[in-house]
Structure 1
Amino acid sequence: MVAMNMVQALNSALDVKLEDDPDILTFGEDVGYFGGVFRVTDKLQEKYGLTRCFDTPISEGGIVATAIGMGAYGLRPVVEIQFADYILPAFDQLVSEAARLRYRSNGEFWAPITVRVPYGGGIFGGQTHSQSPEALFAHVVGLKSVIPSNPYDAKGLLISAIEDDDPVIFFEPKRLYNGLFEGRPDDPVKPWKDHPLADVPEDVYRIPLGKARMVREGADVTVLAYGTMVHVALSAIEECGIDAELIDLRSIVPLDIDAIVESVQRTGRCVIAHEASRYGGFGGELSALVQERCFHHLRAPIERVAGWDTPYPHAFEWDYFPGPQRVIDAMQRTQEV
């Protein structure tokens, strides 16, 4: 075991898989010589050479299209889209080609590609470096969407994504990369705290896609979250004194619906937290699934805590981002019924 932050854990995952399988390669904008803008691919080109880790032109559609062709040929490319906001030029390739290739070819070809996407706010990146578009991809049949919340999970999930025969969008919360959470000083509940490095194995290990993690057991309400919001929700639970059960979904497609149903049927209440805008967000799908499967067990309306239904506001980032107090308010509302 080695103490790692999320950047180091992701780098380790790429390192061990590049060493393990000659059919794996990684590329994207600034991925090679520079090691990525967030340093996730640091020193990989130096170790594995220009054909296994290399830079590309600024063309997200071209990056993903190239990966799809490589995957159909038999390789396992791992590509980086520098920010989630920039993935939209590649949306057609992902939806019309990667997601459908296995079905369209009757299993003759497939796209075993992994698309790494730094996403979310918290770094004052403004409207074009801060968005959370996970719901767009969750709607596309044939794509898997994975979102880690800690270094240990990040490595195990990325290895599983690379080895998966279907295309995986691997959303990496930028705010968690270096393990230090920072928030606005005037928040009534301290939203962030120093997050210790996680003990991460140096060799290969896997966390199955579609298997949620129980962060905290509780009896009063179930809180569903993923990525950065796992830590926001945990801060809220520790502050308010409600005996809440916190589930880290880890992936939204595939979704561990069994873990969700078991928990909500036991607690009778549910709060859903995500950073993306509320309207059309993945929380709406989670709410519908809980309502369909747990209707007779619910003792209070399902609560959703999310970002505003506005473009990402640079000047009001901390107000937009759902903090612990908003999660506390939602949990308290479920206790009043």
Structure 2
Amino acid sequence: MNMIQAINSALDICMARDPDVLVMGEDVGYFGGVFRATAGLQAKYGKTRVFDTPITETGIIGVAIGMGAYGLRPVPEIQFADYIYPALDQLVSEAARLRYRSAGEFISPMTVRSPFGGGIFGGQTHSQSPEGIFTHVSGIKTVIPATPYDAKGLLISAIEDNDPVLFFEPKRIYNGPFNGYWDKPSENWSKHPAGEVPTGYYKVPLGKAAVVREGEALTILCYGTMVHVCTAVIAEHNIDAEIVDLRTLVPLDIETIEASVKKTGRCMIVHEATRTSGFGAELSALVQERCFYHLEAPIERVTGYDTPYPHSLEWAYFPGPVRIGQALKKIMKDA
């Protein structure tokens, strides 16, 4: 499967297993979603369980919070992560706090799916990476898969979780693994080991990172599309790097991170979002606190730039072979 098919399969399985699971959002019903992630679900489960909403993100999330408090398990889709900001107050002030402010009487078991990041030439309003905003908010879990297998297993875990989950889907790799870092798929996901996805029910636990490549010289912390980018760059530079795919930012698998950095003595952090106050800053602080005496070089961060998203310079904005390569040379200088 590609990632779209894996997400569709996860939704299908959860809806078949639990009649309280609902899918809602802009164009998710008859049309099947702008990226076709919900294709066929309305025909299978009906308009009361898979339904289109008006173009009002605050309304979509507000209604989903009410559904969750009532006992349902809504899976609202925000068509692009860039559109989530009108719903920020609902997510931060209501969904994230409902369990605590009601002393556990009410919960918010909703999973907000949303495509994020660049790579499809979507411009400033269809390409942002806002994950760092939500990792700051206590009470919300943040999940970002990098492969179809993880996308399906993590989504099932998120839907069955009793707390609100933001499930950001890297749309640059929706349809296949890219040729390292450029804009054209190198092959179909189904022919790629990462694209082997069971058709049935399975879960990937939230809060558990994956070591996708073992190594001794350097630890690279990344997630989403950057997992594939880093894998390609490392192969070019022939460095024995360990690549850790975080998979969930909150809860964070700090134990796997700590073990890897203490083993290698070096740490590089790569993400597509802007640098200042990006999630890489939190990762850097945690590594510094826990692994200071094991570090043999300063921590390096390779990120997007602190600018509004540059439509015409999209591929220069992404961490890619040049900037990651420069950071590799710097961190490995005295190795």
* TM-score, length-scaled by structure 2: 0.96
- Secondary structure at 2:39 match in 1: coil
CA contact (8 A) 1:181 1:195 kept: no
Instruction: Give the alignment partner of residue 255 of structure 1, picking from 223, 236, 252.
Output: 252
Q: Identity, % of aligned pairs?
A: 67
CA contact (8 A) 1:183 1:191 kept: no
CA contact (8 A) 2:180 2:233 kept: no
State the partner residue of 2:293. Answer: 296
State the partner residue of 1:218. Answer: 215
Query: C-alpha deviations, 1:20-55, integer Å up to 9, x for none?
Result: 100001000000000000000000000000001000
Query: C-alpha deviations, 1:93-141, integer Å up to 9, x for none?
Result: 0000000000000000010000001000000000000000000000000
State the partner residue of 1:39. Answer: 36
Instruction: Give the alignment partner of residue 91 of structure 2, picking from 86, 91, 94.
Output: 94
CA contact (8 A) 2:176 2:185 kept: no
Are 1:82 and 2:75 an aligned pair?
no
1:148-187 → structure 2 map (5 Å cutoff): 148-181=145-178
Structure 1: distance between partners of 2:281 and 2:181? 28
Instruction: Give the alignment partner of residue 54 of structure 2, picking from 13, 38, 57.
Output: 57
State the partner residue of 1:139. Answer: 136
The letter for the 2-side match of 1:241 is N
State the partner residue of 1:8. Answer: 5
Counterparts in 2 of 1:191 and 1:226: CA distance versus 1, 3 Å: farther
Are 1:118 and 2:111 an aligned pair?
no
Are 1:230 and 2:257 an aligned pair?
no
Structure 1: distance between partners of 2:179 and 2:240? 26
Query: C-alpha deviations, 1:271-306, integer Å up to 9, x for none?
Result: 000000111100000000000000000000000000
Are 1:244 and 2:248 an aligned pair?
no
Structure 2: distance between partners of 1:264 and 1:48? 47
State the partner residue of 1:23. Answer: 20
- Secondary structure at 2:276 match in 1: coil
State the partner residue of 2:315. Answer: 318
The letter for the 2-side match of 1:203 is G
Q: CA deviation at 1:183?
A: 7.7
Q: CA deviation at 1:192?
A: 6.6
Query: C-alpha deviations, 1:126-177, integer Å up to 9, x for none?
Result: 0000000000000000000000000000000000000000000000000011
What 5-or-longer segments of structure 1 have no aligned partner? none
Instruction: Give the alignment partner of residue 109 of structure 1, picking from 94, 97, 106.
Output: 106
Instruction: Give the alignment partner of residue 194 of structure 1, picking from 187, 196, 199.
Output: 187
Query: C-alpha deviations, 1:249-283, integer Å up to 9, x for none?
Result: 00100000000000000100000000001111000
Q: CA deviation at 1:181?
A: 2.0
Are 1:336 and 2:333 an aligned pair?
yes
Q: Once superposed, what is the RMSD of the aligned Cα atoms?
A: 1.4
* TM-score, length-scaled by structure 1: 0.96
CA contact (8 A) 1:180 1:195 kept: yes
Counterparts in 2 of 1:166 and 1:299: CA distance versus 1, 3 Å: same
Counterparts in 2 of 1:180 and 1:234: CA distance versus 1, 3 Å: closer
Q: CA deviation at 1:195?
A: 5.3
What 5-or-longer segments of structure 2 have no aligned partner? none
Are 1:48 and 2:52 an aligned pair?
no
Structure 2: distance between partners of 1:184 and 1:74? 43
